Each structure stands twice: as structure tokens, then as C-alpha cells.
Amino acid sequence: MSSIILGITSAQNTETLKSLGMKIAPYFVFTTIVAVSIGIFIVFAIKPGNFVSSDIVNSISSSVTVAKDAVSIQSISIPDMIVGLIPVNTAQSELDGNILAFVILAIFVGVALMNMDKEDAKPIKDLARSFQAFSMKVVDWAMKLAPYAVFGLLCSITIKIGFDAISSMSMYVFTVLFGLFILLCFYLSIAYFIGRVKPLDFLRDIREVQLMAFSTSSSAAVMPLSMKTAEDKLHIPTPISKFVIPLGATINMDGTALYQVIAAIFLTQLFGIDLSLIEIVILALTTVGASIGSPSTPGVGIVILATILQGIGVPVEGIALILGVDRILDMCRTTINVTGDLTASLVMKRLTSFNEASDVSES
């Protein structure tokens, strides 16, 4: 939150923020549509649902319960999710893990500070700067432990669900990972042709962010490191990085959108449900809308998936079949999500004139 406030106040006027907002919104929608399109193409090309035997489906279904998830899912709808983008209670949003509430609050605070006298705003900006330095120190410690945490987490997942569960869903896992890989290549192409950054250089610069995203499965947890990496290694102007990345962490969930559409169509293949062209289009639009309202916390994608399944007539109980491998895929799609946010920062740097982006006020 402190980073967002400092990023907003670094711009001399609100015109910079308005310009960024008008450019980043259509970009986020475009990349999400591309991600969903990739997912639809891949899942229909590979047809992973045809590789799971009926015996395995029955055994997994009987051994996993989704009752707890179903209770929380019943009260969720896509319209409510979109309306809920504007938080009513910031404190409750913190408990629910809704980072969007803090983004909106930070934007209001930042804009208010911009319109205050510099001397009056200075104490609040100094406090925000201190909190930012504190957060980055904690992140630095976490990064030193991240490789060990990733190894332990992978071992724990394998022990809990077993190799049989993983192997039985291997084609589904492969389909999602292949789709995420294509999406990553799409980002690298954008970084090269628009951002003027070589793919290998881009991956090298953001590897720490990707590692932390993989280990935490949370875009929100990685946000401070993402902004630091954008500014220090990708040389993104502060007003851009501290506006685009927090916003992207809440509404730019391309990896999650790709996963959700693959999982939904995978289950239709599993249950023998044929989707018409209109139903596929509706599924795609629903997935795009749902991904925009996805909280940036671990495991939330599976809950939103249940809402999508209800919309196309797939039994919610089918989620039991993919719960076992969801944690692994969650780690991977979060890595792609944060990569997309950093790519968006590069694009906004190119689309925004240098003078406009670097219009920084003196502290």
C-alpha cells in the first residue's frame, strides 16, 4: 500500500494517472482474451479428458470431498464478483485477502496527497517511505529462503497426493502447463517487439520475482518485489511501476483465466458434455469477467472455477478430480500472472512518453 501511495504521489498531476489508466485497461482486457483463446485452442486440440479412465474418475471422486468448497461457492456469482470490485469494508477485505480494497484506498490517499501542500503531505509520504523500506527488507529475507521453501513444498505436495493421483491427471496437467508456456512466449514476444528487451534478458531480470511467485502462489505477496524489480532492473519509471503492477496483481490474472477455461472444458470432456459454439463464447466471456475479480491469494482460482462450471451445466463435484493437482498448477499460473504484470509495465513505458512517465515531483 505504501508503494502505491509513493508511486502515485511521484507524478506531478493526475493527468499522468489518467493517461496510464486509459492505456492499461484495454491492454489488460486484450491479454486476458488472448490467454482464454490459447486455453480453448489447447484443450480442444489435446482433449485431456479422453485420457482419464472411468475407474480413476470414480475412485478420485469418492475419495475427495468438496462439500466445504460448495458451501462457499453457492453465494458467489459473476455479477456479484464484478460489483464487489469496489470494497465496502476495507478491514473485512483484509481478512478476506482482497488486495483490491487496498489498491483503491491507496489510490485515493495518493491523489489526496497530490492535492495537498507539499509541506503538509511530507510527513505522510515519509511514513509511507519508511513502511516501504521495511517491507522490502522482509522480502529480501524471504527471497534468501525461497529456494528451500520451494523444494520442501514440492516434496510435501507429492507426499500428500501421491504419484498415482499425479500420473492419472498427467495429461490435464500437461495441457495447462503447455498453455501457460505458450502464454509465457506471448509475453516474451511483447517484451521483445514492444518493450525492446531480449527474452533471455527479460527472464534473467525477473527470475527472483518468478521464484517467489512460484513459492507463495500469491501475486499480492510478490507485489513489493515486482515493483522493485521493475524499477531497478527493467528501468520502469516509478509512476508506471507503482500504478500498473498493483493494479495488475488484482485484475490481470491471465494465467488464472487460461487455467480456468482449460479446467472447465476438461471436465465437460470428462462428463461427456458437448459445448456449442455459443456456449464456448459464453464460457470465454465468463472466464474473462471472473478473472478480473479474482483475489490474488492462493487457491482462489478453484473457487471461481466452480462458479464458471455452474454456468455451463457441469457438476461442481467434478472439481474433486482436479483438486489433487491444483496446488502445483496454482504455483505455475501465479508465476505467469506476475510475469504478465511486469510485461505490462514494459508496454506502458513504451506507450507513455518519457516526459510524461518521468514527471516526478520533488520530495
* Range from 33-47, 98-112, 211-225 that averages highest in pLDDT: 33-47
Q: Do the beta carbons of residue 242 and residue 8 sit within 8 Å?
A: yes
- Determine the average pLDDT of the residues in 338-358: 81
Distance of CA 49 to the CA centre of its chain: 26
Averaged pLDDT score across all residues of the chain: 76
Q: Do the beta carbons of residue 243 and residue 345 sit within 8 Å?
A: no
What confidence score (pLDDT) does residue 345 get?
94
- Tell me the pLDDT tens digit for each residue of 274-317: 888 888 988 888 888 777 656 555 556 666 777 777 777 777 76
Which 3 state secondary structure label does DSSP give 302? helix
Has residue 5 got a pLDDT over 90?
A: no
What confidence score (pLDDT) does residue 306 get?
74
In whole angstroms, give the CA distance from residue 118 to residue 21: 25
What confidence score (pLDDT) does residue 119 get?
80
What confidence score (pLDDT) does residue 104 get?
66
What confidence score (pLDDT) does residue 360 get?
40
The sign one gets for the Cα dihedral 81, 83, 86, 87 is negative
For residue 260, give the nearest of 81, 65, 56 by alpha carbon. 81
Which of 40-49, 179-188, 192-201, 348-357 has the weakest average pLDDT? 348-357
- Tell me the pLDDT tens digit for each residue of 319-335: 777 877 788 898 899 99
Burial of 303 (0-12, 13-18, 19+ CB in 10 A): middle
For residue 258, give the nearest of 169, 184, 201 by alpha carbon. 184
Say which residues have a Cβ less than 8 Å from residue 118's Cβ, sequence separation at least 6.
361, 362
Has residue 158 got a pLDDT over 80?
A: no
What confidence score (pLDDT) does residue 295 get?
57
Distance set, CA 258 to CA 49, 137, 224 (Å): 16, 34, 25
Has residue 171 got a pLDDT over 50?
A: yes
32-45 burial, b at 16+ Cβ within 10 Å, e below that, comes to: bbbbbebbbebbee
What confidence score (pLDDT) does residue 358 get?
46
- Determine the average pLDDT of the residues in 257-264: 93
What confidence score (pLDDT) does residue 160 get?
61
- CB neighbours of residue 289 within 10 Å: 16
* More confidently predicted of 88 and 69: 88
Q: Do the beta carbons of residue 32 and residue 253 sit within 8 Å?
A: yes
Q: Do the beta carbons of residue 218 and residue 334 sit within 8 Å?
A: yes
Query: Which cell goes with 9?
Result: 504521489
- Write the DSSP string, 241-269: HHHHHHHHHHH--HHHHHHHHHHHHHHHH
Lookup result for grid cell 477455461: 261
Query: Which cell goes with 229?
Result: 524489480
Domain 12-97+140-357 top-level CATH class: mainly alpha
* More confidently predicted of 263 and 363: 263
Distance of CA 67 to the CA centre of its chain: 26
Has residue 132 got a pLDDT over 90?
A: no
Query: Which cell goes with 128?
Result: 509511507
Q: Do the beta carbons of residue 313 and residue 161 sit within 8 Å?
A: no
